[in-house]
Structure 1
């Protein structure tokens, strides 16, 4: 007879290495409704992708602070691809019918995707720092601590500005006027715009998905739903990098 696998050996298996037993036990369907499992799992997956985005954006920021443009570009390329994945995942949530969502919506109580601390961290790290988010009463102590740290540390916008100053404050319009950009600051500026655009596309797709499912009704967690989400569509991380195009 085979003896039970010892913990050390189990940790070297595929399931053990990925902690699959624990991971796969985290998906819930409190009401037992068919689409509830999808709803919970999709949002957990979003939070995992947000974790990776923070990891890559932080590394890109640190690379810029260290004058390592190639490494910053390496990380930002991955960020853009992940943001495409986030957009594609909207299509999965959009398969939940309006009637189906109403069957388990009440079980969400006061929870809302707007309460995602990692989402706010991405905004802070990218350059949209709003201290008002720190005053929310739905934050845990750990979440408030993370947002406080993100508020105090350099954002991507600041890291790019400092790098530009160290390079002699070149005119971005002059750099971007080239038909083929061969300047590393120019390539970095375009990579940051890619991130900004990618996140904006996700916001837009998310608004449309929510509108498709709940229409103009108030959202969960006390939000105004689609009305609030629409008001965020004009947000941008890198205003100067957008406006400079008007001077080309």
Structure 2
């Protein structure tokens, strides 16, 4: 999935929105498989899960460098996660943080296409988190008000939103499985378990693609 996101980013940097959409749709296929994997966990009773949970030891998928790389690539780069990535010395994460996220690349592409994207959104340093901006909502509104004129941009927006939707769907399934299996216990690897998952469940990638719809 990371490779598909990276290919989408590279396509956008070449102003190839169609190629980016193809890569993003490949990513969603992988995401649907990952969501379905939670169903295998739901086939167990809680006592069956507890019987082998100790084998997991301190392994935690959401704390892994691979998972963090996915979040960084999509644009979730909160300062404490960035600092942790540098402190832990993961070369792949440092490389990822030196690149614009997929959403950063999208906004830069839209700016080159003549849309009024605030300069601060395209000139920030790569490792910084994107902050929601109502002026970006204006850009998406312009595109959705005339989807035939802006067909490539409209398709790109829908492809991005599907990736964001599937990621949130995966998080939601994760939360439900955790609540079903361990209730209020601490999560694997010492995380806060369900409470942390509820908090992160509120996060949305590509935020203005969600919020502009209230104004459409």
State whether residues 207 and 229 of structure 1, in contact with CA within 8 Å, keep that contact through their aligned partners in structure 2: yes
Give the TM-score normalised by the residue count of structure 2: 0.82
Q: Which one has the largest radius of gyration? A: 1
**2:191 corresponds to 1:223:** yes
Question: Any unmatched runs of 5+ in structure 1?
Answer: 1-52
Aligned match of 2:13? 65
Q: 1:162 aligns with which of 98, 108, 117?
A: 108
In 2: Cα distance, 1:131 partner to 1:174 partner = 32
The structure-2 alpha-carbon separation of the partners of 1:61 and 1:179, relative to structure 1 and needing over 3 Å to count, comes to closer
Higher relative contact order (CA 8 A, sep 6+): 2
By how many angstroms is 1:237 displaced? 1.4
The structure-2 alpha-carbon separation of the partners of 1:229 and 1:161, relative to structure 1 and needing over 3 Å to count, comes to same
By how many angstroms is 1:103 displaced? 1.5
Q: 1:101 aligns with which of 49, 71, 75?
A: 49
The structure-2 alpha-carbon separation of the partners of 1:179 and 1:60, relative to structure 1 and needing over 3 Å to count, comes to closer
State whether residues 76 and 195 of structure 1, in contact with CA within 8 Å, keep that contact through their aligned partners in structure 2: yes
**2:66 corresponds to 1:118:** yes
In 1: Cα distance, 2:113 partner to 2:146 partner = 18
Aligned match of 1:198? 166
By how many angstroms is 1:172 displaced? 2.1
In 2: Cα distance, 1:165 partner to 1:75 partner = 21
**2:193 corresponds to 1:247:** no
Per-residue deviation, residues 195-214 of structure 1 (Å, max 9, x unmatched): 10110000001110111111
In 2: Cα distance, 1:219 partner to 1:172 partner = 38
State whether residues 168 and 201 of structure 2, in contact with CA within 8 Å, keep that contact through their aligned partners in structure 1: yes
How large is the Cα RMSD of the aligned pairs?
2.0
Give the TM-score normalised by the residue count of structure 1: 0.72
By how many angstroms is 1:180 displaced? 6.4
State whether residues 131 and 151 of structure 1, in contact with CA within 8 Å, keep that contact through their aligned partners in structure 2: no
State whether residues 147 and 154 of structure 2, in contact with CA within 8 Å, keep that contact through their aligned partners in structure 1: no
In 1: Cα distance, 2:101 partner to 2:37 partner = 27
Per-residue deviation, residues 59-103 of structure 1 (Å, max 9, x unmatched): 000000101111111111111122111111110122222111212
Aligned match of 1:49? none
By how many angstroms is 1:153 displaced? 0.7
Question: Any unmatched runs of 5+ in structure 2?
Answer: 117-138
